[in-house]
Amino acid sequence: MTRPPALSDIRDAQRNIRDGVVHTPCTPTRTLRDSVPGSLHLKFENLQRTGSFKDRGSLNRLLQLDDEERARGVVTASAGNHAQALAYHGGRLGIPVTVVMPETAPLIKVANTRGYGATVSQSGTILDEAAVEARRLAQERGLVMVPAFNDFHVIAGQGTVGLEIIEQVPDVDVVVVPVGGGGLISGIAVALKELRPSVRVVGVEAASAASAWASREAGKVVQISHVDTLADGIATKTVGDLTFPLMERYVDDLVVVSEEEIAAAVLVMLERKKTVVEGAGAVPIAALAAGRVPVADGEQVVAVLSGGNIDINMISRIIDRGLVFSGRLARLMVKVSDRPGSLARLTRVVAELGGNVLEIYHRRAFADISVGDVEIVMHIETRGRSHVEEIIAHLEGMGLLVEEDV
């Protein structure tokens, strides 16, 4: 396809890939009822065959290959989700797949990609650097390059998410979508705006990888200097030159979220929805929880959970970070007299206030205190931010000097 995808192309893609992808559920939830005055629906793309929406675009692109191209095989650069989708569907169709992944790609995504039968190499620290090596291999070996997002057939495949949203929530008002290179939101936005021009499409980026926001500000595609985010699936230095014009035409707004907000959103989905969502997939929830997406009373909102391929080694760290951000884990430094009974009194008061002491230790030599005092460092579990403030206020009311490490 040499032109941007139209609604008819997305409908063709839907027919092409119907038997190879999951028609994922889009169900109402009360998870963020305090933050979203309207009705929130979750589009569970993390339930795709390889755990992300990438199944759609990858399969649609593979189905465009002729017999000679299939025999030669394809190559791509991916941080993990596109790699897994291309490897899985390439294996089903008998097409050799070579994948270049960043050296920082989550281990589980590397292992899964190899497990689906792809030849995997790692190069560079971010996706953009891996793409340079993938293009070199394509030229050297005569492989067909299948970009992760900057391809019109891929964009059309991702747009099938938008068709399903309209089918599942016909009166949708707002759709919130993660943004990395722009393939997902471009396809969804084309489908939605062509069918329902009144629908607002909002893209969400990690603040430390906000290449789409920077490009919109500049009015052209720009490359940011650095990306570092737990949302590895959207960690790109630049959006695509094919996706950017579509985003400018169809996407109403772009917002950004912090690492702490992303971690808290992952935790919310684990706790309240019993759903594993990776950092990239959680950014719509983070934006809604932070109030970055205006929603009027009664509006129908859909948040696209783009993927669930999270590194199991990262989950505990993300959970801890989310707990700290929400105030459910806190570290307090309390100065007390260095006398017998001071520690017992302190922990008793915290317990009486409903706090749970997880870890505790003394600091004498390295604390900024008088020789007659000791600094008690406590890691405590609480009900949330207001509970932490209540504990601190009570301790200060007892004449103790309290600092919170935030």
Active site residues: 54, 306
Q: 239: which 2 tokens? A: 């959006």
- How far apart are alpha carbons 67 and 84 in whole angstroms? 22
- Distance of alpha carbon 15 from alpha carbon 12, whole angstroms: 5
Amino acid (one-letter) located at 272 = R
Contacts of 194 (CB under 8 A, 6+ apart): 6, 7
Q: Computed over its alpha carbons, how large is the radius of gyration of the chain?
A: 24
DSSP string, 40-56: EEEEEGGGSTTSBTHHH
Residue 235 in contact with residue 206, Cβ under 8 Å? yes
Per-residue exposure over 220-230, b if at least 16 CB sit within 10 Å of its own CB, e if not: ebbebeebebb
> How many CB atoms within 10 Å of residue 316?
9
Cα distance between residue 51 and residue 15, in whole Å:
21
Question: Which residue, 209, 176, 193, is CA-closest to 249?
Answer: 193
Q: Report CA 390 to chain centroid distance, whole Å.
A: 33
Q: What is the dihedral of CA 315, 127, 213, 179, to 10 degrees?
A: -60
Angle at 129 between CA 75 and CA 142, to 5 degrees: 25
Identity at 383, one-letter amino acid code: R
Whole-number Å distance between alpha carbons of 259 and 272? 20
* Three-state DSSP class for residue 10: helix
